[in-house]
Structure 1
Amino acid sequence: MAGCDKSIINRLRRAEGQLRGIQKMIEEEAECTDVITQLSAVRSSVDRVMGIIVAENLKNCLEHPEMNKEEQEEKIEKAVKMIIKK
């Protein structure tokens, strides 16, 4: 991914740290609700990263006039499908 923003890498590193913490919680037999709360936080974090990446991709699509309209529409449609894939 060209021009990968440092903030994206930092967000992913935080999510990785959260996942390691969750692994430790499970190993230590933490309460199920606490584990689920942490998993939900990681999921939200990853969803935000996905949103940032897709938004950046859309922005790049619209800023490149050398792409024909059909190409732009195809890329936008693909990005939208990725967002609503959930």
Structure 2
Amino acid sequence: MAYSLEVINRMKRVEGQLKGVIRMMEEEKDCKDIITQMSAVRSALDRATALVVAQNLVSCIHDHQNSGQKREDVIEEAVQLLVKSR
């Protein structure tokens, strides 16, 4: 599956946020500030995950006729991916 530039850019932002958290830890910043940033990283990663699953679902539904897989099975698989990511 080809990933959109939007998803790739989101992941690069997550990477930058995570590096920022590590830097904060190395600089021994306040725990509350670090936890706040870690929460922001998790939220950004969750949004990126949802976007990847959504794009995959669209692609799979489009291609499901060629694969012989039922549309309901494709949707169920996408839902399971979302559940697994939590």
Q: TM-score category by the smaller chain?
A: 0.7 to 0.9
**Per residue, is there more helix in 1 or in 2?**
2
In structure 1, what is the Cα distance between the partners aligned to 2:12 and 2:48?
11
In structure 2, what is the Cα distance between the partners aligned to 1:14 and 1:44?
12
Q: Which runs of 4+ in 1 moved over 6 A?
A: none
| TM-score using structure 1 length | 0.85
Q: Which has the higher contact order (CA 8 A, sep 6+)?
A: 2
In structure 1, what is the Cα distance between the partners aligned to 2:29 and 2:69?
53
Q: How does 1:4-83 map to 2 (within 5 A)?
A: 4-64=3-63, 65-70=65-70, 72-83=71-82
What percentage of residue pairs aligned between the two structures are identical? 43
Q: CA RMSD in A?
A: 1.5
How far is the alpha carbon of 1:68 from its aligned partner? Answer: 3.1
Per-residue displacement from partner, 1:35-69 (whole Å, max 9, x unpaired)? 01101111111111110111111111222232435
